[in-house]
Structure 1
Amino acid sequence: MANSKPHTGPINERTLVQFQDDLPESADVVIIGGGVVGVFAALYLTRLGQKVIVCEKGRVAGEQSSRNWGWNASRAETRLNSR
């Protein structure tokens, strides 16, 4: 690999997609997709004590989730307006 330093800073289209750690031997739950829903599902399950692996073909939260925040924004707007 040309660049062995870990990436620091904002993720953008030029950020290399890389994973260098060893894979775990086991997991309670495997989540396919590291978008908003997959990451929050992993967070929730981890807080419940589950050992979770998230598999993503590209950048975590950098694929479609980074382009489609409409459903999140409309929900946040509804919550703010109801106060």
Structure 2
Amino acid sequence: MSQAKVDNYKKSKANRQKIMKREKIMHRLEMVCIALVCVVFVGWIGYSVYAKIDRAQGTAQETVEFDASAVQNYVSGLTQD
């Protein structure tokens, strides 16, 4: 081996702990970013599906009115007897 290679090897060996620690931190940061992007993507898909279903149900809803006067008259007639 040439002297330059030996010096490089000694230098990398001396800083190996720092290099390994930096690589671990970068790896964790990459995994957190990937997980965050996946969560945002899944949330976006879920919201889109929910909005599409909600919009579809909103147009098909009908309002029903119930006249309860006959029931009230019947109940009031029961209590008077």
TM-score by length of structure 1 reads: 0.23
Which entry has the higher C-alpha Rg, 1 or 2? 2
- Say which structure, 1 or 2, has more relative contact order (CA 8 Å, 6+ apart): 1
User: What is the TM-score of this pair, normalised by structure 2?
Assistant: 0.23
